[in-house]
Amino acid sequence: VSTIAASHAGLRDPELAQRLRGALGTRPRRLPVECFYDDLGSALFEAITYLPEYGLTRAEWRLLCRHSSDIARLVPSALEVVELGSGSGRKTRLLLEALARRRPLPYRPVDISAAALEACRREMAGRTGVTVDPLPMPFLEGLSAAIEMRAPSSAVLVLFLGSNVGNLEPPERDRFLSAIRRRLRRGDALLITADLEKDASTLEAAYDDDAGVTAAFNRNALARLNRELGADFDLAAFRHRALYAARERRIEMHLVSERDQTVRIPALGLVIALAAGETIWTESSYKFRRGDLAALGRAAGFSGTAAWQDDEWPFELALLVAE
């Protein structure tokens, strides 16, 4: 039983419902990324991280194994860690253990998924020196709340892992990084990761695995609209599709309507007609090149202090410091 109540009213949250109405009600039809993460969606995402095709999590794990002590040397020892979209925090534990070797470490995971935060709290339970204070909120609200709690003499290290930055559209991404920077003070830091571009077939398999877990994760977003908003999506009439758009350097995940159909979403006051072959675009996952994170950081007011890559599954980890 989850003991962390999400401050969020799920898909009925007025701000999210408003965005959902706009995204689904106009073409191309889309879904906000938050729609994935109810308890079931969080469990399915955790399963994705174990898939043989999904190399991202293992690459990030290897980078954190190799470089946590380098990171600990590069950040101030009076430190508080805030993680945006922590999920289960399974990989973060490696870094927190390295940081907490120096002195006690407050850790504030921010996530809209109560189930993810509960898993994260369990993951960290009993780790020497780490105090966990979960914040069930959207990213920037959670960061602001964490900043209000900071001890005046501590620096803040913000974590944005899992190549989460790739789920933001470029203009939104730039605004988001600047919004993080505005909440920080000089000397605070941002540790961020990005999946690097690789061949299309490897990427498409990572988002369309043989066991069908990613397809289930994708379809669960519609199942959630049925459960929480009284929608009548016939899930069997939608096919999962992942394709790599090389020019835009992004994986696109879609749910393709297999036939002409009309769907009602009473809680949004919406009736949508989908033609056979029309898609609901559920997620973009942008891919990057070496050095992109430092450049994005510079544009948002950070200096790139260090960056490390995994060669087995091209992936980048960068430490950016607020100037």
Decide if residue 285 touches ligand SAM (CB under 6 A): no
Residues 27-46, mask of contacts with ligand SAM (x by CB under 6 A): ------xx--x----x--x-
Decide if residue 116 touches ligand SAM (CB under 6 A): yes
Dihedral sign for Cα atoms in the order 286, 292, 293, 296: negative
Strand, coil or helix: what is 318? strand
Decide if residue 113 touches ligand SAM (CB under 6 A): yes
Decide if residue 138 touches ligand SAM (CB under 6 A): yes
> Could you give the dihedral angle defined by the CA atoms of residues 173, 179, 183 and 185, in that order, rounded to the nearest 10 degrees?
70
Instruction: Tell me the closest approach of the beta carbon of residue 142 to ligand SAM, in angstroms.
Output: 6
Near ligand SAM in 56-75, by CB under 6 A: 57
Instruction: Tell me the closest approach of the beta carbon of residue 23 to ligand SAM, in angstroms.
Output: 14
Q: Which residues pair with 195 in a beta bridge?
A: 315
Instruction: Tell me the closest approach of the beta carbon of residue 130 to ligand SAM, in angstroms.
Output: 17
Decide if residue 49 touches ligand SAM (CB under 6 A): yes
Cα 280 to Cα 136: distance, rounded to the nearest angstrom: 28
The tokens 């949508």 sit on which residue? 272
* Nearer of residues 95 and 280 to ligand SAM, judged by Cβ: 95
Terminal-residue alpha carbon distance, the chain: 43
Among 10, 106, 109, 162, the residue binding ligand SAM under the rule CB under 6 A is 162
Structure tokens given for 18: 């408003």
197 close to 204: Cβ distance less than 8 angstroms: no
* Residue, CB closest to ligand SAM: 162
Instruction: Tell me the closest approach of the beta carbon of residue 312 to ligand SAM, in angstroms.
Output: 17
Decide if residue 87 touches ligand SAM (CB under 6 A): yes
How buried is 113 (Cβ within 10 angstroms: 0-12 exposed, 13-18 middle, 19+ buried)?
buried
Structure tokens given for 173: 């991404």
Cα 267 to Cα 208: distance, rounded to the nearest angstrom: 31
Decide if residue 54 touches ligand SAM (CB under 6 A): no
Decide if residue 85 touches ligand SAM (CB under 6 A): yes
Residues near ligand SAM, by CB under 6 A: 33-34, 37, 42, 45, 49, 57, 85-87, 110-113, 116, 138-139, 161-162, 164
